[in-house]
Amino acid sequence: MENNESELGSFLAGFVIGALVGAATALILAPQSGESTRHQIISTSDELRHSADSYTREYRDKANAIFSDTRSRAQNLTEQVQDQVRIVLDAGKDQAGQAKEQVEQAVDDLNADIADASASA
């Protein structure tokens, strides 16, 4: 996606530069009065400024959309990772609880065996 935007940006930069060079060449070679040339220069510069503003707004909107989309994806991924961590931790807690119960049962059995052995002796 970044490559396409780079190519589009390069194309637009070349387009604007070409338009400026073409306009300057046309103004220099055109047989018209100085006042007409000045009006044409002002008109062309206004058009170029408006198109540059339009491109700037368009790219800003695209960048904001990409940023928002990326933030949303990162947030979703973070939530998925947190859910997976919770599942693993819950499973670990269950296994630890079962191991504790088994150890307690083994201790109780040993205590019972010791008590039985003491009573028999």
Measured distance CA(117)–CA(113) in Å, rounded: 6
Task: Determine contact, residues 34/47, Cβ cutoff 8 Å.
Answer: no
- pLDDT block averages, 10 residues each, the chain of length 121: 69 81 76 76 86 89 92 94 90 86 87 79 63
What are the domain boundaries of the chain? 2-120
SS3 content of the chain, % helix, strand, coil (to 5): 95, 0, 5
**Which tokens hold the place of 30?**
């055109």
The pLDDT assigned to 76 comes to: 94
